[in-house]
Chains A and B, each alone.
Chain A
Amino acid sequence: MIDPNYFLLIVFLLAIGTFLIRYSFVGLSDRMKIPNEVKDLFTYIPAAILPGLFIPATFYYQGQVAGLFHKERFIIILFCFGLTIFIRNTLVCMAVGLGLLYLVQG
């Protein structure tokens, strides 16, 4: 059982902190002129962050298939990455990925 006061305090502080992180630069937007070079840099933000959200999660996942050294989730994600470059379709990417994982583990 989580103590209700402990829970409330953490939720309250986490909410404020998270909002301030999200608002930080947005709040300063009319006071700052962002140079074009930095705007170019912004286009790299998804490339810099997103791999960190799915590469370790799939690479270190403890899978079931010994023959693939437990790396089936990782191998399929790389395949889907390649596939999505050619077929730019989110639903195809997700359907193929889920289908392949089902087949490999079936």
Chain B
Amino acid sequence: MSNFKKGFIAILPIASGVIPFGMVMGVVFAEANLSFLQAVLMNQVVYAGASQLATVSLMKLNTAILIVLATGLIINLRFMLYSAAMSPYLENANRWVKYFCAFTLTDQSYAAMTANQDKFKTNSEAVQFYMGTAVAMLITWHASVLFGYLFGNIAPPKLNLDYAIPLSFVALLVPALKTKTHYFIALFSAIASLVFYKAPLNTGLMISALLSIALAWLIIKRKSRKAT
């Protein structure tokens, strides 16, 4: 099986957790009285669910442009960390592959790729696997947003399908925890995200992420000093 196919298939269970999220996004577009074209346009060119959800809600209230933009971009800042982590794999890739991989960076694709990184012999194998996950995510996301826009959220509220979203993040996180230190960092990040949850302009996620990475860096440095 090609690596592209492997990636495509590997992410399908995770992608199913994106369907309720996409449907909510579609409903939010429709409830904001945005036209079909406007909804499709935003969804195609931004392609970042959490920031779209936040910015559409702010636009409904006619919030100042700078605040709307700052909110959306701060939510998306975490992609810069994914971009850094993806960059070694894309060293020798051509420009269009880089554009595609950057544009399609999501929590899901990035995490699926790192969870499998030990299995790749070359960078190009890793990139093909990643592209498979990215295409599966694109299809799932756009289809579920369109469905939500056109038909509304048809899932019975009693089933709490929105809960599939946090559950899918749990399933993404666990394979990435390869050592005890990874568990420790995840625990630290969980506590920090609760502490900084109310930080202004949605900066809580980035604060807890950066603190966790700083802590990981200190631990790595200490270990390497001990080793030498």
Give the residues in chain B near A2, CB-CB below 8 Å.
Answer: 32-34, 59-60, 62
* Cβ-based interface call for B150 (8 A): no
Known: A45-B85, A50-B111. A57 touches B213 (CB 8 A): no
In the complex formed, the residue of B with least CB distance to A50 is B173
B91 and A30 form a contact (CB under 8 A): yes
Residues of A within 8 A of B69 (CB): 10, 13-14, 17
Cβ-based interface call for B220 (8 A): yes
Nearest to B69 among chain A residues (CB) is: A13
Q: A18-B51, A27-B102, A97-B167 are in contact. Are A43 and B14 (CB under 8 A)?
A: no
Q: Which residue of the partner chain, among B65, B83, B171, B194, contacts A9 with CB atoms under 8 Å?
A: B65
Counting CB contacts under 8 A, is B201 at the interface? no
State whether A14 touches B98 (Cβ < 8 A).
no
A25 to B72, CA, bound (A): 20
A45 to B14, CA, bound (A): 18
> B219: shortest Cβ distance to chain A, in Å?
9
On whether the beta carbons of B81 and A49 are closer than 8 Å, the reply is: yes
* Interface hits, A24-56 → B, CB 8 Å: 24-30, 32, 34, 37, 39-56
Closest beta carbon of chain A to B67's beta carbon, Å: 10
Q: Among B59, B83, B111, B161, which residue has its beta carbon within 8 angstroms of that of A98?
A: B161
Inter-subunit contact A48/B209 (CB<8 Å): yes
Interface size band for A: 35 or more
Closest B residue by C-beta to A42: B85
* Total count of chain B residues near the partner, CB < 8 A: 96
Scoring A residues 77 to 96 as 1 if CB is less than 8 Å from chain B, else 0, what string do you get? 10011001100111101100
Is B126 on the interface with A (CB-CB < 8 A)? no
B41's nearest neighbour on chain A, judged by CB, is A11
Q: How far is the CA of A94 from the CA of B159 in the complex (A)?
A: 12
Q: Smallest CB–CB gap between A26 and chain B, Å?
A: 5
Q: For residue A59, which residues in chain B have a CB less than 8 angstroms away from its CB?
A: 194
Cross-chain contact B182 with A44 (CB below 8 angstroms): yes
- Chain B residues near A41: list those with CB within 8 A: 213, 216-217, 220
> In this assembly, does A69 line the interface, its C-beta being within 8 Å of a C-beta of chain B?
no
- Asked if B101 and A24 sit within 8 Å, CB to CB, the answer is no
Instruction: Give me the interface of A with B, judged by CB distance under 8 Å.
Output: 1-4, 6-7, 9-15, 17-19, 21-30, 32, 34, 37, 39-60, 73, 77, 80-81, 84-85, 88-91, 93-94, 97-98, 101-102, 105-106
| 5 residue pairs, one from A and one from B, having the closest CB atoms | A48-B212, A46-B176, A54-B166, A90-B13, A52-B193
